Structure 1
């Protein structure tokens, strides 16, 4: 049994993780612990409070008790909002507090792009333009070329959590850009676990989504390789990249 720990802000698309766990097989467990007082806000001034070392450290005890082997901080803006160096410090502090290997969804996207063997991606974010641009800058800092950034400028995470297949597909199509080898949708409030195959078939290229890459990152840290085509091209590639 491999137990993955996920620190999750809010109550938006948490059911994605139960679906992903089911698709991965019976020997993988995904333990979700909510970070109290944190929300995956779509504002550039929110991430530092949301992802503070003290707030994350206070939430890891539940994962240790559950027997988690790795931990991933599942709040993209709570990672990339710190910038590349700041996000690295955040993950190091989380690893020390948790006593296990740690990462974040922001780094998961960079690692997943490398795993796919692509260089240029298009970004489709429900965020406002300033937050979407910060995420694109983070990808660039990780060596990823960004062919285009589409910011939907949607409202609250609660609203995004209400999006269905049609809205998610519309965002992915609007984001797709000439020369992009993959499309990235960086919002954990977006339900995507049931839609990745459709998105990839419609666009004709890999699609990376926040909840999908978060679980994949936990597996990568645990050095587990899982073939799960229902979760997209990312879960059909080997070997998993090393940090």
Structure 2
């Protein structure tokens, strides 16, 4: 029986179709449902805020009480849930991200995670502790993500920051623009390239990105889904979807020699 994955997502009608695309490509496919935390009405238009204001807004959206309230909006109870937002989880730090997941798990009675915690799980799975960041964020927010990774013992050897604006703007990026960002971020000392943004449509490009860079390219969509499946005990291996979903054949972690 296929598990039902519940995703809490920050911006309605934005990048949900990329998650749906990935879940459809798995065999068997994964049932998927979305629920949406509410932005603080006192914030106004997030796009009009400066970097500090945006950081405060995403922190408020990711408050545990905001997430548990939103989780009551799933059409059916999920078997596993994830807070599918990178910045709204890593801006709370490692302990804060764990608090988010614990609150959701206690509220729904199912395993829970977030995109940021899923990145850590993916890096542990691959045995990688030196990365490059292909960030769409303002440089200050990119630094916050690097600090989050450092809390878990992961070193950022290089990063680029596109400072690209809103989720809706990022949802319009095509494969070429995503590829150019990942290529610019890559570094010889990095054992993986991270693309931490759930509004980007990365699923169709997973295999091409890794072939081009010659190393794992971990996108927000892919790590979120993979970790949720692991928590649900539902193994999915499928070619053409990058390292995280590739069969290893002998049970070893892919890229395990990369430390």
TM-score (norm 2): 0.86
Single out whichever of 131-140 and 20-29 deviates more from structure 2: 20-29
Say whether 1:78 aligns with 2:78: no
Is 1:176 aligned to 2:186, yes or no? yes
Report what 1:140 is aligned to: 150
Distance in 2, matches of 1:237 and 1:135, equals: 29
Q: How does 1:19-168 map to 2 (within 5 A)?
A: 19-37=21-39, 43-63=54-74, 66-168=76-178
Count residues in correspondence: 240
**Matched residue, 1:227:** 237
Q: Please give the alpha-carbon distance, in whole angstroms, between the structure 2 residues aligned to 1:67 and 1:174.
A: 41
CA distance in 1, matches of 2:158, 2:96: 24
Q: Distance in 1 between matches of 2:230 and 2:189?
A: 28
Report SS of the residue matched to 1:35: coil
| Counterpart in the other structure of 2:256 | none
Is the 8 Å Cα contact of residues 80 and 87 (structure 1) preserved in structure 2? Answer: yes
Cα distance per residue 1:185-223 (max 9 Å; x no partner):
001111101111111111111100011111111101112
Which SS does the other structure have where 2:146 is aligned? Answer: helix
In structure 1, C-alpha distance between the alignment counterparts of 2:240 and 2:57, rounded to whole Å:
33
| CA distance, structure 1, for counterparts of residue 29 and residue 200 of structure 2 | 26
CA–CA distance in structure 2, aligned partners of residues 138 and 40 of structure 1 = 23
Contact conserved, 2:64 with 2:99, CA < 8 A, in 1? no
Q: Which residue of 2 aligns with 1:196?
A: 206
Distance in structure 2 (CA, Å) of the matches to 1:32 and 1:86? 22
Look up the SS of the partner of 1:46 in the other structure: helix
RMSD over aligned Cα, in angstroms? 2.1
Distance of aligned partners of 1:240 and 1:103 in 2 relative to their CA distance in 1, 3 Å threshold: farther
TM-score by structure 1 length? 0.92
* Alignment correspondent of 2:6: 5
Unaligned stretches of 5+ residues in structure 1 = none
Indicate the SS of the match to 2:36. Answer: strand
**C-alpha displacement at 1:40, in angstroms?**
9.1
CA deviations 1:98-149 (Å, max 9, x no partner) are 2211111000001101111222110011100011111111111112121111
Name stretches of at least 5 consecutive residues in structure 2 with no aligned partner.
254-259
- Of stretches 43-52 and 127-136 in structure 1, the one that deviates more from structure 2 is 43-52
**CA deviation after TM superposition for structure 1 residue 35, in Å:** 2.5
